[in-house]
Amino acid sequence: MNGSRDIDTQVTLPMELYQAIAQRAQAHGHSVSREIVTLLTPLLMQIPKELEAEFAAWETASDEDWLSTEEMLASLGE
């Protein structure tokens, strides 16, 4: 890890999860901390794509809501 850009933090893990991560870390020659970063990084890279899709769906629904609101207001004005 890049020491100048790291934030020291603490996480409480169930013992079984810690042991599984520690075994993976040992097999890969990493510290437990580095193994956690290695496991989380690909997941975090997927989140923006999922959020983009969710935002696009939300925006489409919002546009549809505005259109129906405009139609309702237009019909009240007739």
pTM attached to this predicted model: 0.54
Domain assignments of the chain as residue spans, ordered by start:
13-77
Establish how many alpha carbons lie within 13 A of residue 45's alpha carbon, considering only the half-sphere containing its beta carbon.
Answer: 6
Q: Give the pLDDT confidence of 41-54 residue by residue, as tens digits.
A: 988 777 777 778 88
Q: Give the pLDDT confidence of 19-68 residue by residue, as tens digits.
A: 999 999 999 999 999 999 999 998 877 777 777 888 888 888 888 888 88
